[in-house]
């Protein structure tokens, strides 16, 4: 693009800029989709799973034995989906969002209603 943009050539400069921007956006979309595909298929071993969860390898094996965490087994080795492990952690949030309010709030509500 010519560094000297004047009022006369402004429409052409904007058109060129728009075309280049479309190319950049297209390339960014491709990179983003490749990254999301890679994340979907990120498998880790026992050592990495233990480090990710902050527990010992023995705890990992215990959780696998009791089917507490999702795992895959191939050729006698254990594999874990990093995303599935993180999802498992997130699904065990306490207190649950749909639970009743804490006792102090319920106490206030009963006083307010006069019951």
Q: What are the counts of helices (DSSP H) followed by strands (DSSP E) for the chain?
A: 5, 3
Widest distance between CA atoms in the chain: 78
**3-state SS, residue 80:** strand
Three-class DSSP labels, 30-56: HHHHHHHHHHHCCEECHHHHHHHHCCC
CA distance 108 to 114: 10
pTM (predicted TM-score):
0.49
According to the model, what pLDDT value does residue 81 have? 93
CA distance 74 to 45: 11
According to the model, what pLDDT value does residue 1 have? 47
According to the model, what pLDDT value does residue 26 have? 86
**List of the chain residues with pLDDT < 50:** 1
Burial string for 5-26 (b: 16+ CB within 10 Å, else e) reads eeeeeeeeeeeeeeeeeeeeee
Q: CB–CB of 2/13 below 8 Å?
A: yes
């Amino acid at each position: 693009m010519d560094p000297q943009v004047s009022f006369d050539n402004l429409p052409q400069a904007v058109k060129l800029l728009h075309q280049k921007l479309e190319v950049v956006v297209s390339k960014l979309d491709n990179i983003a989709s490749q990254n999301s595909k890679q994340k979907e298929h990120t498998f880790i071993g026992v050592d990495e799973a233990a480090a990710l969860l902050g527990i010992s390898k023995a705890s990992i094996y215990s959780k696998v034995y009791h089917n507490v965490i999702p795992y895959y087994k191939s050729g006698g080795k254990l594999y874990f989906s990093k995303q599935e492990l993180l999802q498992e952690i997130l699904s065990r949030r306490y207190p649950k969002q749909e639970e009743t309010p804490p006792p102090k709030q319920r106490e206030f509500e009963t006083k307010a209603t006069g019951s």
